[in-house]
Amino acid sequence: MPQDSPGLVEVALPVPLFQTFTYSIDPLIRAPLIGSRVVVPFRNATTIGICLGPANSAALPRKVRRIIDVPDNQPVLSADMIALCRWVADYYIVPIGIALRTALPSLLTGAAQPQPARKTHRVVRIGANLPTLLEREKAFARAPQQRALFELVESLGGQSTLEHLLKQLSFSPSVLNALEKRGLIAIEAEVVERDPFATRPVTAADQHRPSDAQAAAIAAVNAAKPGEVFLLNGVTGSGKTLVYIEILKRLVKERGKTGIVLVPEIALTPQTVDRFRAVFADDIAVLHSALSDGERYDAWLALKRGQKRIAVGARSAVFAPLDNLGAIIVDEEHETSYKQGETPRYHAREVAIVRARLEGAIVVLGSATPSLESWANADTGKYTLLNLPNRVGGGQLPRIDLVDLKRRRSPDEPREGPASPAYPYVIRDELDAALEQTLARREQSILLLNRRGYSSFVQCSECAAVVVCPNCSITLTAHRAPERLLCHYCGHQEAPSQVCRRCGGRTLRQRGLGTQQVERLLSDRFPRASIARMDVDTTSGKWAHAEILDRVASGEVDILLGTQMIAKGLDFPNVTLVGVVDADTGINLPDFRASERCFQLLSQVAGRAGRGPKGGRVLIQTRVPQHHAVMCAVTHDYLRFVREEMPGRIRPSYPPNSRLANIIFSGSNAEAVGNFAIAAAEWLRVLLDKQQIQAITVIGPAPCPIERIKNRWRWHVLLKSLQANELTRVSRYFMERFPVPANLRTTLDRDPVALL
Ligand code: ADP
Ligand code: ZN
């Protein structure tokens, strides 16, 4: 047994090395507790690390350096959080120091000032309770002013700012001072919270009684075992939010527990957040990407101290520093934004499940279109399935009609359409008529332009067939210089053909159509309509999304046009028409999840229509009306989609039928990256062969579909396995041992949500 060495501690540092470090304690400063921050010398600089506990004396470096400082009285990470980060480090193959850093606000981990300067204001709090009327009469017998002020502060929830009482409510300072002297109130300095949600008005709480289906779901979750995971499969508008709220009400308000609500992106779902705030008010900390480092730190501190008991936020909120955790809600669990795109590439849904298990909490995954992974887990009984099959209040799912873009408008219309399409090509007659009628009725429309394709593919202009790889059932991507079609999974390539293999028609390259272009066409056609466009270009400001959505809510906007960011969570009863300009772009992405994404997106955006008593309809323009992703969205048939999609994930096998780790090689020299990837794949094959590991398949190498990002060339190798543990073991072995030359980089993406 290795011995703990007194005076030595093990420290995790946020550096790309798979190891921890040993430092000695300075007897002149306090000894760090487990989970405390420590400032230590590392190479030629000082770094902030986390103390993991006493170091054992085995394998000590010759010269141990000393800790420079222990800045906080209290650990910043609990034992549970350290355990969670150890899981993240292990599963996603990242150094523990980097996993720990992810769980903390950047102000605490940056090399900057360990403690930020804080702005404070003065707060008045009730200092003594006067529960009976008798006590009250006695205390304020000759001081009606003092009584008025005291009771006002009580009615404000027991506290208010000094400024508010003096300026807006015009109380005199002498009354305040008198109360303070008597100990009936206390005046304290408090840090000003810098939360922009604080200035957003709190809406009134919904007063709906749960429907039978909602009540059944709530009851099932209330009877949960610790660590249990529920999949709440509820159609759009089935009232999933109410279920989440009732579950949290019981846990947080009645049982004194805490909770986390994960949403795909806060800025896109202000309405959902408003509903939680309406019920839980000051108990909520909203964490979102628009927060400054200081604001994020404030929220973190409030949660850590128990001043806030519910964290609402995007994926990183899964690390909210809450004790006594009761539940983690993952709304729209199928959304890919739950996966972090940079190291550590964790999936918040998976982290939520592990965290809940560690802390005895429960998890509710909600979606109208669950990911196939979650569906498979519910199917095998690993998760408990809950259904909300209908819209609440007798509402109907909207009727969906298809407009076939292959159909020519007139016999003399050119087959391929003009290079720069005019309005009638972009918005077909059916959709145009629907828009016109909706405008005339003073109702609102949402138009989705699903423009996700980065890479071009080749499609037949006659039968719409797309050229796919013979080995992979994946769309081939068109490349220039030299002209060729390439499979990004296995490296298969072929020369582009001028004729379609299926029908002999002429093939053409597909190009994108921009939202800006569509906006211009629409405003020419409907000059009097108020059109709002929502895409990455119009939403760079801090609150741009919320502002656009507020304008839609107030009825100011007639037509909301946008990319997939408009598909989520919006609940506007006056939206009676949803149009999808082009459903197909996503379907042909070279990714095994392309159909699933398309189905989810169409279902979600269709779900925005007809959420009020006026009902609504949906029109989807498509070249592939027969595609199962489109057909099943039209019939609102999730189960059928699963049935039709699953076989395509069996041979060749893809999640949920196997597990993946995508290893990406990148660098600025194209040839060096290619050779590096080839060497890595060979190294892996030799390793598996020597160790006789049959549970893992190596696929590739091949260039990534997006071959170059920020001037770096990219190649990848895919590891597939049915066994998660084997995949962890081999991935770790590779990441720790395979030598990486100076100007090249290797990243590993476990459970990738896309292989682009
Ligand atoms: P989902 O998230 O499932 O799409 P929401 O939670 O947004 O659905 O609920 C849709 C609408 O139905 C909301 O406006 C909500 O206030 C309302 N609602 C929820 N539950 C009920 C209920 N039991 N009765 C009536 N209306 C309800
Ligand atoms: Zn292939």
Per-residue pLDDT reduced to its tens digit, 222-236: 999 999 999 999 998
Instruction: Please name the residues in contact with 331: beta carbons below 8 A apart, sequence gap of 6 or more.
Output: 240, 241, 244, 261, 262, 263, 264, 269, 272, 366, 367, 569
Strands of 214-321, DSSP E = 229-234, 258-262, 284-287, 310-313
Q: How far apart are CA 374 and CA 383, in angstroms?
A: 8
- Residue 288 beta carbon below 6 angstroms from any ligand 1 atom: no
pLDDT given at position 648: 87
Q: Report how far ligand 2's centroid is from the alpha carbon of 680 (Å).
A: 19
DSSP state of 250: I
Selection from 269, 218, 246, 190 nearest residue 546 by Cα: 269
What are residue 699's phi and psi, to 5 degrees?
Answer: -120, 135
Note the residue count of the chain: 756
Encode pLDDT of 15-28 as tens digits.
999 999 999 998 88
- Residue 211 beta carbon below 6 angstroms from any ligand 1 atom: yes
How much is the average pLDDT of 148-177?
76
How much is the average pLDDT of 583-595?
79
- Residue 282 beta carbon below 6 angstroms from any ligand 1 atom: no
Inter-residue contact 165 to 176 (CB < 8 Å): yes
pLDDT given at position 227: 96
Testing ligand 1's pocket by substitution, the residue of 392, 549, 575 carrying the most ligand atoms inside 8 A of its CB is 392
Inter-residue contact 564 to 452 (CB < 8 Å): yes
Query: Does the pLDDT at position 478 exceed 80?
Result: no
Q: How far apart are CA 240 and CA 234, in angstroms?
A: 7
Q: What b/e readout covers 152-183, taking b as 16+ CB neighbours within 10 angstroms?
A: ebeeeeebbbbeebbeeeebeeebbebbeeee
Q: What is the token pair recorded at 440?
A: 């005339």
- Residue 392 beta carbon below 6 angstroms from any ligand 1 atom: yes
Q: Reduced to 3 states, what is the DSSP secondary structure of residue 506?
A: strand
Q: Which residues pair with 562 in a beta bridge?
A: 448, 534
Cβ atoms < 10 Å from Cβ of 562 = 23
Q: Is 661 exposed, middle or buried (0-12, 13-18, 19+ CB in 10 A)?
A: buried
Encode pLDDT of 439-452 as tens digits.
999 999 999 986 53
Judged by its nearest atom, the ligand closest to the C-alpha of residue 477 is: 2
Selection from 721, 606, 610 nearest residue 659 by Cα: 721
Q: How far apart are CA 453 and CA 477, in angstroms?
A: 11
Predicted model pTM: 0.80
Judged by its nearest atom, the ligand closest to the C-alpha of residue 467 is: 2
Instruction: Please name the residues in contact with 24: beta carbons below 8 A apart, sequence gap of 6 or more.
Output: 7, 8, 9, 64, 65, 66, 67
pLDDT band of 396, cuts 50, 70, 90: confident
Query: Does the pLDDT at position 480 exceed 90?
Result: no
pLDDT given at position 112: 41
Instruction: Please name the residues in contact with 381: beta carbons below 8 A apart, sequence gap of 6 or more.
Output: none
- For ligand 1, atom 1, which residue shows the shortest CA distance? 237
How much is the average pLDDT of 571-591?
83
Average confidence score pLDDT of the chain: 85
Instruction: Please name the residues in contact with 416: beta carbons below 8 A apart, sequence gap of 6 or more.
Output: 461, 508
Q: How far apart are CA 679 and CA 689, in angstroms?
A: 15
Percentage, residues of the chain above pLDDT 70: 86
Query: Does the pLDDT at position 471 exceed 90?
Result: no
Percentage, residues of the chain above pLDDT 90: 51
Instruction: Please name the residue that has the structure tokens 């910043």.
Output: 76
Q: What is the token pair recorded at 529?
A: 């309509």
Query: Does the pLDDT at position 193 exceed 50?
Result: no
Strands 484-486 and 493-494: antiparallel
Q: How far apart are CA 12 and CA 430, in angstroms?
A: 61
pLDDT given at position 454: 34
Q: Report how far ligand 2's centroid is from the alpha carbon of 487 (Å).
A: 5
Q: How far apart are CA 618 and CA 466, in angstroms?
A: 26
pLDDT given at position 452: 38
pLDDT given at position 495: 83
Encode pLDDT of 717-741 as tens digits.
999 999 999 999 999 999 999 999 9
What are the residue ranges of helices labelled H in 360-401? 372-379
Q: Report how far ligand 2's centroid is from the alpha carbon of 717 (Å).
A: 12
Encode pLDDT of 339-390 as tens digits.
998 899 999 999 999 999 999 999 999 999 999 999 999 999 999 999 999 9
Selection from 111, 83, 152 nearest residue 15 by Cα: 111
pLDDT given at position 706: 73
- Residue 237 beta carbon below 6 angstroms from any ligand 1 atom: yes
- Residue 666 beta carbon below 6 angstroms from any ligand 1 atom: no
**736 to 22, 85, 93, 431, 687: CA distances (angstroms):** 20, 19, 9, 56, 14
Order of strands, sheet of 477-479, starting from the edge strand that comes earlier in the sequence: 477-479, 484-486, 493-494
Selection from 158, 476, 501, 183 nearest residue 307 by Cα: 158
- In angstroms and rounded to an integer, the radius of gyration of the C-alpha atoms of the chain is 29
Encode pLDDT of 496-554 as tens digits.
777 887 787 776 655 445 666 788 788 889 989 998 888 655 555 556 677 788 888 88
Report the nearest atom of ligand 1 relative to the CA of 271: 7
Query: Does the pLDDT at position 747 exceed 80?
Result: yes
Q: Which residues pair with 325 in a beta bridge?
A: 258
Q: How far apart are CA 322 and CA 432, in angstroms?
A: 51
- Residue 366 beta carbon below 6 angstroms from any ligand 1 atom: no
- Residue 53 beta carbon below 6 angstroms from any ligand 1 atom: no
